[in-house]
Amino acid sequence: MPKPKIIIAKLGLDGHDRGAKVIARALAEAGFEVVYTGIRQTPSQVVETAIQEDAKLIGISILSGSHLELVGELMRIMKEKGVSIPVLVGGIIPPEDKEALLKMGIAGVYGPGTSLKEIIDIVKKLVGVS
């Protein structure tokens, strides 16, 4: 049985990728196939990667402050292209923006201090792996 494929991406001009790489490695060690797209990705690039890779989930790491615009664009493109997989957002997200992201259809928003175990458990649940 193939491993569920997860896309981990950094949207926009944010160059800080240590957290994304830590998450990518933890998910790989937990048995997922992980595609890390690298920094400075556009929403359309991430959606195209998810389509090409037949991904089961997209994880977005963002610290730049442009999360509402970039994630909103990502969700719009996903809808336009008929991609309906869970999207998780992690990084520095002000509490007042969490609700707006959830209303866009984001499956969850996680900040610093979220344990790797919690993230792995959430991803397993969202992609149907026990």
Domain 5-127 carries which CATH code? 3.40.50.280
pLDDT tens profile 62-86 = 987 789 999 999 999 999 999 999 9
Residue 12 CA to residue 71 CA, distance in Å, equals 10
pTM > 0.75 = yes
What's the confidence (pLDDT) of residue 17? 86
Sign of the CA dihedral running 73, 76, 77, 83: positive
pLDDT tens profile 15-38 = 788 889 999 999 999 999 999 999
DSSP 112: T
Q: Which of 100, 124, 97, 123 is nearest to 111 (CA)?
A: 97
What are the boundaries of each domain within the chain? 5-127
pLDDT of 127 higher than 90: yes
